Amino acid sequence: MNLDLAARTAVVTGASRGIGLATVRTLISEGVRVVGAARTITPELKDSGAFPVSVDLGTPEGAAALMEQASAELGGVDFVVNNVGNGDAMEPAGFLEIDEARWKDVFDVNLLSAVRVSRAALPGLIERRGGIVNVSSIVARQPSAGTVDYSAAKAALVSFGKSLAEEFGPLGVRVNTVTPGPTRTPAWEEPGGFGSKLAAASGSGHAEFLRGLPGHFGITTGRMTEAEEVAALIVFLLSDVAGNITGADHVIDGGLLKGL
């Protein structure tokens, strides 16, 4: 399928690894010029062909600086992928263990970063009839007791995307959400990441926990999602091939979510 994206431009946040890095690479393979934003610029992002920007999107100043640099580098932005999040840094914890500072940090990174970047980008997106994809998480649909703050922030992100789609759709800007289930990324696979923390909390070894994860979570396909599969869905939704899809939340979870 020809997505006809050559010479378009995009900003991807949380671009240093995982789903963000896979999205950068997929966009570039389609001929898109990309600014990849992250707090830490990894060698993989440097080598991807994107223009890397080191920025903290947990602050209003960070979002404004990102879009200023992106516009200067790209000459205008057609697409925004709000992927940044701190799921890999999350500590499984009960509600009474989570203090005010953690609630604020989780919402700053997972919700307000998208609010800030979208606000800065929308004037240009309206002019260019562009698009936004926000990356949520399956816990927005199926909240977890151990990540109540993260689940709430990601659910708010889905609602935010729906509202943006309704307001700016008549102006030519499409907004969609992609909601991945457990995805084979460093957050799950690296020692010290969220996956290893869950394994420790369950009393399992990390490798053993990952092997048993699809069965434990009830994933119909019997495997975790690959970051490249999520990236392919994101890029499809940005393209004109998906030109009448907006305001929707697209789940990619191997059948984990059983509800209608």
pLDDT, tens digit, for every residue of 58-104? 888 999 999 999 999 999 999 999 999 877 667 889 999 999 999 99
Is position 57 within any domain? yes
Same domain, 81 and 145: yes
Q: Are residues 241 and 147 in the same domain?
A: yes
Q: Kindly state whether residue 255 falls inside one of the protein's structural domains.
A: no
Identify whether 70 is part of a domain. yes
- Same domain flag for 115 and 214: no
Averages of pLDDT over each 10 residues, the chain, 260 residues: 93 97 98 97 97 94 95 97 84 92 94 97 97 97 91 97 98 98 93 88 90 94 98 98 98 95
What is the residue-wise DSSP string for 45-69? HHTTTSEEEE--TTSHHHHHHHHHH
Pair (140, 215) in one structural domain: no
- Residues 97, 190 within the same domain: no
Is residue 258, in this structure, part of any structural domain at all? Answer: no
Burial class (CB in 10 A: 0-12, 13-18, 19+), 180: buried
- Select which of 46, 104, 150, 197 is catalytic: 150
- Of 154, 162, 197, 258, the catalytic one is 154
Asked if residue 59 is part of any domain, the answer here is yes
Which residue range is the domain that position 191 belongs to?
185-223
Q: Residues 239, 110: one domain?
A: yes
Catalytic: 258? no
104 is catalytic: no
Cα 154-106-187 angle, rounded to 5 deg: 75
User: Are 77 and 158 part of one and the same domain?
Assistant: yes
